[in-house]
Each structure stands twice: as structure tokens, then as C-alpha cells.
Structure 1
């Protein structure tokens, strides 16, 4: 059972998947930082300091706070600002991934064009059957005078 698990765990697909997950986690942190540290402040600047994270709807009259963190302590709230922020983050991640995949596809297409443009060796011309037969006869005669035997109804 240990050997079977080792075989499974060390297969190429499992290792590739693990590398992909690790790179994905690192890429996620980069994108999160890009969204939180670059795009969110820019959106706030364009919208006049608008910050979606503190937008909420109180579900009970006991909630009187003006920030989401305080409102959650006081009671139930619908944090639609957090949802808007998550939706914006998703759109930015999707846009970044679109550009990454688009670049990869262009590189692949360029590589395929280079392979297709590479010169192919010229095809050997088709040799007619009678010429092939004559070449074989020549090779047999030149190979030491081997006797050619003819088979068929005429040979006796």
C-alpha cells in the first residue's frame, strides 16, 4: 500500500498540480495586493473617496454603528459593500488572467508558426515500378552473378 501511494504521489500529474496550486496561491496574493493597494485607492480617488467596504444594511434596529466592523458586533447586517468589493476583485483577477492567457496563446501561436515555417526536407521523387525492377536486376547481377530463377508455367 505504501508503494502504491508513493507511485500515485510521485506521478507527474500530481506534482504538476501541486506546483500549480502553490503558484496559484502566490499569484492570488499578488493580485490581492494589486487590487487592495493599487486599484481600490484609484477607484476611491475617481469616485471621490468612495469606500465600498463599509456599505451595509442593518437588519435590526439595535445596529447604530457607521462602520461594518462595529455594526457586525451590534447585530445582523447585510454587507453589500463587501460583496461589491469582492465582485470588483473578481473582475480585476479575471482581466489579469485574460491578459496572461492571451500572452501565452500568442507565444504558442508564434512558436507554432516558426515550426510550420521551418524548411522541410524535399520529398524523394516517386520511382516507377519498372525502374525499381530494373535497379533490382542490376543490383543482383552486380552482386556476384547470382543466378536469377524464373518461376511460372513456362519454366521447366
Structure 2
């Protein structure tokens, strides 16, 4: 019975639940970006390349799919760029909220104590 209680305590901690939500959101976000690349971006890139077929199906040797690899790298780069932009935006919003909020009640009290000690 103790094992079940320990597992319940572990599984219901905030970190585990937050990680689970992050993984689910990440996989859904990955599908959106993959669809964006495959359905919108690649059809614009394909005519620019001088091939008579889809460049993602290019093979260098038997089973060596270089086109698929390049598409996967491009997919990774776009996902990384979008995630970087989202995180940068989140930090900017958080920083502006902290500046607007000003010091908390505890910080104000500590400032008063510091000023009183200086006198």
C-alpha cells in the first residue's frame, strides 16, 4: 500500500503535471508547425528547385533519403525559431508586468526596514 501512496504523491506533484501538459501541448504544436511547413511552405519552395519531382523524395543511394532528411532539418529549424519567438515574447510580457506591478508588500516592508537601519 505504501508504494501506491508514494506513486500517487509523485504523480500528482505540480512538476509532473506541468511536464505532462507541456508534452501534450508540444506535440500538438509540432503537428501544427509540420502542417504549416508541408502544406504552405514546401509548395512554395518546390517550384524554386530544379527537379522534375518532389525534392523530399530524392535518394542518394538505396534507402538514403537525403530529401526527407533536409525536410526534417528544415522542420526542426522552423519549430525552434517559433518556440524561440514565443519564449522571447513571454519573457518580454513578464518583464513588463513586473515593472508595472512594482514592489510587493514584503519588499516594501524590507525597504522600510533597510531605510530605518540606515538612519
TM-score in same-fold range (> 0.5): yes
C-alpha contact 1:52 1:84 (8 A) present in aligned 2: no
- Structure 2 gaps, min length 5: none
Does 1:90 pair with 2:93? no
CA distance in 2, matches of 1:88, 1:95: 11
- Structure with higher helix content: 2
1:100 is displaced (CA, Å) by: 0.8
> Which has the higher Rg, Structure 1 or Structure 2?
1
Does 1:108 pair with 2:111? no
Aligned-CA RMSD value = 2.6
Q: Aligned pair in 2 of structure 1 residues 48, 103: CA closer, same or farther (>3 Å)?
A: farther
Alignment partner, residue 52 of structure 1 = 55
C-alpha contact 1:32 1:89 (8 A) present in aligned 2: yes
- Structure 1 gaps, min length 5: 59-75, 127-156
TM-score (norm: length of structure 2): 0.76
How many pairs were matched up?
A: 108
1:55 is displaced (CA, Å) by: 1.0
1:51 is displaced (CA, Å) by: 3.1
